[in-house]
């Protein structure tokens, strides 16, 4: 692969912790949970009645009011996070802009695990009540997942690769990794990449609830997401978006961009084992972490922190711990590992994008976010999970893990610039 280097110059996030990178970062460091009772629909018949709802999002601050009504919430999140990332980056596109990138060389790779499920539910209900000839003419474009990158590309005149990976909870990590490859290979010079999700709906929550995948700690929402803790009982759904602006390093330096971190490695593979459970001993996850290290030409002992997939499910957390030990050996005991899902909930297809932003900030801000709700030690989860309190620390390389239903895995590796 080409020796072109790829750097991160912009970030945009929306989560249950709030809208905007700075708000999210400060709340993460404070160890505050965004999990609360679901307010959008009646959960009375569900086993799970809590989630990480976004509370402060105002779409009209980012999107024309007339257009908002034509978009599903997941696409609104994607557009808003992209605007924040592009604004922070100062990404120049077009021949009339100083140091402007050729539009044909700027890509948009933004995915979602589920897409426009709220629009699907609403229009199905409308069809049953009034007839399917009364559906909104915008229904299909509200629902399909590639509309998020399509809308972003139209807004910023990005005429390079434009597509949406769909790989469950690994979606946005795959998006960022594929954008990295595209720049490395010279297909593009810059990219907007990540993911968005808005699946806190009756169908979304109900579906995961009947699978028995979700926490039922309804009486104590802020303590419900507890990755690596002995008393974990399932994940908590979250929502939002995480978007990065990636640029070829020399071009970014030439225009004087503020560089947050360098993306140096990417691994993608499959467990080929089970539709929902990880492979025994975390075998697939371990292989994926090794692939990321190999692509970066790095040794395991060069990594100082892992932003774990850390879902708060019994199977994932134990197997991810085993995978880390298998890859890092004795160095696993020296690593800091934390799961920001303990505060945001699991953002599904947006998780890897959000956690990619966190990984870049760990390198540029010299601090590690905690894993909150660490109160009961699990003998199967015995690493340093940065329990309950953030930590000042300088690390030179960060790994971000994302694993999804269907056995799909994606690992990103960031380095201090």
Helices H / strands E in the chain, number of each: 13, 15
CA nearest to 229, candidates 316, 303, 305: 316
The dihedral through the CA atoms of 335, 179, 62, 39 has a sign that is: negative
Number of Cβ within 10 Å of residue 197's Cβ equals: 33
Q: What span, in angstroms and rounded, lies between the C-alpha atoms of 27 and 33? A: 8
Element at 360 (helix H, strand E): helix 351-365
Name residues whose C-beta falls within 8 Å of residue 22's C-beta, 6 or more positions apart in sequence: none
Q: What span, in angstroms and rounded, lies between the C-alpha atoms of 242 and 357? A: 7
Number of Cβ within 10 Å of residue 150's Cβ equals: 18
Q: 371: which strand partners?
A: 387
Contact indicator for 147, 75 with CB cutoff of 8 Å: yes
> Out of 158, 174, 288, 309, which one is annotated catalytic?
309
Residue 348's alpha-carbon distances to 93, 115, 182, 205, 402, in angstroms, are 31, 11, 24, 12, 10
Name residues whose C-beta falls within 8 Å of residue 119's C-beta, 6 or more positions apart in sequence: 72, 139, 142, 143
124: annotated active-site residue: no
381: annotated active-site residue: no
Contact indicator for 206, 184 with CB cutoff of 8 Å: no
> Out of 158, 174, 288, 346, which one is annotated catalytic?
346
Element at 103 (helix H, strand E): none
> Out of 169, 174, 288, 381, which one is annotated catalytic?
169
Q: Name the pairing type of β-strands 190-197 and 162-163.
A: unpaired
158: annotated active-site residue: no
CA nearest to 214, candidates 224, 223, 222, 228: 224
Q: HEC string of 46-66?
A: CCCCEEECCCCCCHHHCCCHH
The dihedral through the CA atoms of 294, 296, 297, 300 has a sign that is: negative
Look up residue 396 and give its DSSP letter: S
Catalytic residue list:
169, 309, 346
């Amino acid at each position: 692969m080409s020796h072109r280097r790829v750097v991160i110059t912009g970030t945009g996030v929306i989560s249950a912790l709030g809208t905007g990178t700075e708000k999210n970062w400060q709340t993460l460091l404070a160890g505050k949970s965004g999990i609360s009772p679901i307010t959008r629909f009646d959960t009375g018949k569900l086993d799970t009645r809590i989630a990480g709802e976004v509370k402060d999002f105002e779409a009209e601050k980012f999107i024309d009011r007339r257009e908002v009504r034509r978009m599903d919430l997941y696409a609104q999140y994607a557009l808003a996070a992209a605007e924040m990332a592009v604004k922070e980056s100062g990404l120049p596109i077009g021949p009339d802009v100083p140091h402007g990138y050729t539009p044909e060389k700027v890509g948009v790779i933004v995915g979602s695990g589920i897409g426009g499920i709220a629009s699907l539910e609403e229009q199905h209900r409308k069809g049953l009540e009034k007839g399917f000839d009364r559906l909104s003419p915008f229904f299909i474009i509200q629902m399909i997942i590639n509309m998020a990158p399509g809308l972003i590309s139209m807004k910023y005149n990005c005429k390079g690769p434009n597509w949406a990976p769909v790989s469950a909870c690994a979606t946005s990590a795959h998006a960022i990794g594929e954008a990295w490859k595209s720049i490395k290979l010279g297909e593009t010079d810059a990219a907007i990449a990540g993911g968005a999700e808005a699946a806190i709906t009756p169908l979304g929550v109900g579906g995961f609830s009947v699978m028995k995948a979700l926490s039922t700690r309804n009486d104590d929402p802020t303590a419900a997401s507890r990755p690596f803790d002995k008393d974990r009982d399932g994940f908590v759904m979250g929502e939002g978006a995480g978007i990065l602006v990636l640029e070829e390093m020399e071009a970014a330096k030439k225009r004087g961009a503020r560089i947050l971190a360098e993306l140096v490695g990417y691994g993608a593979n499959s467990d080929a084992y089970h539709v929902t459970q990880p492979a025994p001993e975390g075998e697939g996850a371990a292989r994926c972490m090794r692939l990321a290290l190999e692509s970066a030409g790095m040794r395991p002992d060069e990594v100082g922190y892992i932003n774990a997939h850390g879902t708060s499910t019994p199977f994932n957390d134990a197997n991810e711990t085993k995978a880390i030990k298998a890859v890092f050996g004795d160095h696993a005991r020296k690593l800091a590992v934390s799961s920001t899902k303990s505060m945001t909930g699991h953002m599904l297809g947006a998780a890897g994008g959000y956690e990619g932003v966190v990984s870049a900030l760990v390198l540029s801000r010299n601090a590690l976010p905690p894993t909150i709700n660490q109160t009961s030690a699990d003998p199967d989860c015995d690493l340093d999970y940065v329990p309950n309190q953030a930590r000042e620390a300088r690390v030179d390389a960060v790994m971000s893990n994302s694993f999804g239903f269907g056995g799909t895995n994606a690992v990103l590796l960031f380095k201090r610039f």
